[in-house]
Amino acid sequence: MIKLNFFGFFFIAIIGLNNVAASSNGLFMSPPGPLSGLTCTYNGETFQNGVHVYENSFCSKYYCNNGVVEWYWDEDCDYHLQEAGIDVSKCTKTYTEGVCCPEYDCPQEAYPWYREEYSSEAPEEYSSSPPTPDSASKTLKCVTVQ
């Protein structure tokens, strides 16, 4: 089994835009940053316009948009692995409280570049006669008896 977490996989994955928010500020994966405009209050804390406010347990992120707390991004943890060709349906996911993406425990079969290991034994048609040394060339010859 090979274990991956989102941060470890991040370095080998090609990140694509997925579930990107369309807002009055355009498309973005992170808030545009502090902007002039109305502030937002969330759980008794005040946030500047254009900044990240919170992330919920379902990996949805919210920002302050001119006085209103709005959604801007859903982190699709499987997406990054699927883009690399990993079959996440074959992986076991372990979630940690407070961490958006799970740790993935994937068998080798989940990877597209995985190939089954083949036996080093000779095919059956060659097994009737073991290799014999050739004294002149110091090499082994395979002899098939028919």
**DSSP class per residue in 5-19:** EHHHHHTTSPP---S
pLDDT at residue 137 in the model:
47
3-state DSSP call for residue 72?
strand
pLDDT at residue 86 in the model:
92
pLDDT at residue 28 in the model:
67
C-alpha 68: how far from its chain's center?
33
Dihedral, CA of residue 12, residue 17, residue 21 and residue 25, to nearest 10? 100
pLDDT at residue 31 in the model:
82
pLDDT at residue 47 in the model:
97
Distance CA 66, CA 8 (A): 35
C-alpha 63: how far from its chain's center?
25
pLDDT at residue 17 in the model:
36
Stretches where the chain sits below pLDDT 70 are: 1-28, 114-146
pTM over 0.75: no
Using a 10 angstrom Cβ sphere, with 0-12 exposed, 13-18 middle and 19 or more buried, the burial of residue 27 is exposed
